[in-house]
Amino acid sequence: MKNNLDILENKIGVKFKKTDILKSALVHRSYLNEHKDFPLDHNERLEFLGDAVLELIVTDYLYNNYTEAEGVLTNWRSSLVNGERLASIAEEIGMYEFMYLSRGEAKDKNKKARQYILANAFEALIGAIYLDRGYASARKFVEESLVSHLDKIISAGEHIDAKSNFQEKSQEMVGVTPRYKVISESGPDHNKKFVVGAYLDKELVAKGEGYSKQEAQTNAAENALQTKGW
């Protein structure tokens, strides 16, 4: 499947001038540990680029199509570009089938680990499209695959993130602003797992896990809301 990149190009609606750029977006760091002679780099630099391009495209779209206040637009943008949603879109595209992974990563059944890999690969794909086809193509892809979900997000209230909700409830109920602290880290650098505690003063209300500190904080806030019954 990895070699049939024309299938992936058809799925995303983008024909690459240089297919090696697309292929690089699909290379996980772990693959290179087992294939030292592989001619391409892993996808982390493309992910870095794609993250910035994605944020600009979404911000540009929201600014030009909505008149809401900055705080509202920021929440909408955060809901659109969070890792779980990016991974979900990548799953819809079927990106995992095309990825270059180590044998261990390919066999790993951990859902969170898979989501983390897919979210990063989706950002790398955006970076690859931008690099190979330009901003207009990247914008078309992002708007069609991701921004098209915005109306559903707004109507379902999915833009109200758990951290904001927990902070509002904490200040309302006990007059305290929550703080978050990393309790532990585990795993290799390219796939590090964080456990974060949500605290009210010195009280540890709940813990959360994630493959980024932000994801772990959000998970901790969700668990804290349940613990407090808020």
Each residue's pLDDT tens digit in the chain (230 positions)?
456 899 999 999 999 999 999 999 999 999 999 999 999 999 999 999 999 999 999 999 999 999 998 878 888 898 899 888 999 999 999 999 999 999 888 887 778 889 989 999 999 999 999 999 999 999 999 999 999 999 998 887 666 678 888 888 898 899 999 999 999 999 887 778 899 999 999 999 999 998 888 889 989 998 999 999 98
Domains in the chain, number? 2
Q: Are residues 31 and 100 in the same domain?
A: yes
Task: Note the pLDDT of residue 79.
Answer: 85
Q: Are residues 126 and 33 in the same domain?
A: yes
Q: Are residues 25 and 111 in the same domain?
A: yes
Q: Are residues 68 and 179 in the same domain?
A: no
- Domain end point (choices 93, 128, 156): 156
Task: Note the pLDDT of residue 75.
Answer: 81
Task: Tell me which residues are annotated as active site.
Answer: 51, 123
Task: Note the pLDDT of residue 2.
Answer: 56
pTM of the entire structure?
0.74
Q: Are residues 146 and 174 in the same domain?
A: no
Task: Note the pLDDT of residue 3.
Answer: 61
Here the tokens at position 136 are: 């207009």
> What is the span of the domain harbouring residue 175?
162-228
Dump pLDDT digits (tens) for 111-128: 888 998 999 999 999 999
Question: Tokens 């008149």 sit at which residue?
Answer: 67
Q: Are residues 78 and 15 in the same domain?
A: yes
Quote the CA–CA distance of 45 and 186 in Å, as a whole number: 23
Task: Note the pLDDT of residue 212.
Answer: 85
Q: Are residues 170 and 107 in the same domain?
A: no
Residue 44's nearest CA partner among 137, 117, 96 is 117
Q: Are residues 152 and 166 in the same domain?
A: no
For 1-26, b where at least 16 C-beta lie within 10 A, e where not — what string?
A: eeeebeebeeebebebeeeebbbbbb
CATH (domain of 107): 1.10.1520.10
Task: Note the pLDDT of residue 51.
Answer: 96
- Domain end point (choices 106, 121, 156): 156
- Domain end point (choices 126, 141, 156): 156
Q: Are residues 82 and 130 in the same domain?
A: yes
Q: Are residues 220 and 181 in the same domain?
A: yes
Q: Are residues 197 and 146 in the same domain?
A: no
Distances, alpha carbon 73 to alpha carbons 35, 60, 204, in Å: 44, 11, 31
Q: Are residues 149 and 190 in the same domain?
A: no
Q: What Rg, from alpha-carbon coordinates, does the chain have?
A: 19
Task: Note the pLDDT of residue 142.
Answer: 98
CATH (domain of 204): 3.30.160.20
